Amino acid sequence: MRMRILGLDIGSKTIGVACSDALGITAQGITTIQRKTAQDDWQRLQALATERRVTRMVVGRPRHMNGEDSENVKQIEAFITYLKRQMPAMEFVYWDERLTTMMARQVLMAGGVRREKRKQFVDKMAAILILQNYLDAQGNTLL
């Protein structure tokens, strides 16, 4: 069985999580983790990775439209450094996440999700878009 890939949209309060299918073609939303401590976040991600036989995590890297890193990149990098120490066998890949949150909101609006409900789904949808963009860019090289 092929190993799967997790896509992460890491924010200060939540982590949106998506997972690839076994063939590395499509991304599906898994959950939105309510952030507590780095250790708690790591344990939740480790459990998901073990359960789904994940060998790689694609992490959204927030950038401004001019290509420069946004303000919260340092916090994301610090968290990924922590995860790398906790999960040395895991491969981490940063992926440009420009406009994914905006696209996630548009997808949810187009799907008829009410404004009050959108907030609970937007991070997971952004993780799906990050991972799907990564999978599409890889083409068949993952097969």
pLDDT over 70 at 141, yes or no: no
pTM of the model: 0.85
Range of the domain at 85: 4-142
Question: Once rounded to an integer, what is the mean pLDDT over residues 5-34?
Answer: 95
Give the closest residue to 48 by CA, choosing from 96, 7, 101, 81: 7
The DSSP result for 95-122, as a single string, is EE-TTHHHHHHHHHHHTT--HHHHHHHH
Question: Which CATH number covers residue 126?
Answer: 3.30.420.140
**In the predicted model, what is the mean pLDDT of the chain?**
87
| Counted domains in the chain | 1
Strands 54-61 and 91-96: parallel
Question: Once rounded to an integer, what is the mean pLDDT over residues 41-59?
Answer: 96
Biggest CA–CA distance in the chain, Å, is 41
Helix ranges (DSSP H) in the chain: 38-51, 73-86, 100-110, 115-138
Question: Once rounded to an integer, what is the mean pLDDT over residues 85-102?
Answer: 87
pLDDT over 60 at 82, yes or no: yes
